[in-house]
Amino acid sequence: MKKFQNIGKGNGVAIAFGAILIGLWELIAILDWIPPFILPSPISVFHTLLETFPIMFEHIKITVLEAGIGFLIAVFLSAGLGILVDWVPLLKKAIYPIIMISQTIPIVTLAPLFAMWFGYGYLPKILVVILVCFFPIAVSFIEGLASVDKELLNLLRSMGANPFQIYRMVKIPAALPQLFSGLKIAGTYSIMGAVIGEWIGGKEGLGVYMLRVRHSFSIDKVFATIVIITLCSIFVVKFIHIIENKLMPWTKELPNQNEGEIS
pLDDT at 11 (0 to 100):
67
User: Domain 55-257 is classified in which CATH homologous superfamily?
Assistant: MetI-like (1.10.3720.10)
DSSP string for residues in 132-201: HHHHHHHHHHHHHHHTS-HHHHHHHHHTT--HHHHIIIIIHHHHHHHHHHHHHHHHHHHHHHHHHHHHHS
pTM: 0.80
Q: pLDDT tens digits, the chain, 263 residues: what are they?
A: 444 444 445 567 878 887 888 888 878 878 777 777 777 878 888 888 888 888 889 889 999 999 999 999 999 999 888 888 888 878 878 887 887 787 777 777 777 788 788 877 888 888 889 988 988 898 888 888 888 877 777 777 778 777 787 788 888 888 888 889 889 999 888 998 888 888 877 778 888 888 888 887 888 888 889 999 999 998 998 999 888 888 877 666 544 444 444 43
- Distances in whole angstroms, Cα of residue 183 to Cα of each of 79, 132, 142, 177, 189: 11, 11, 13, 10, 10
**What pLDDT score was predicted for residue 207?**
86
pLDDT at 248: 76
pLDDT value of residue 251: 64
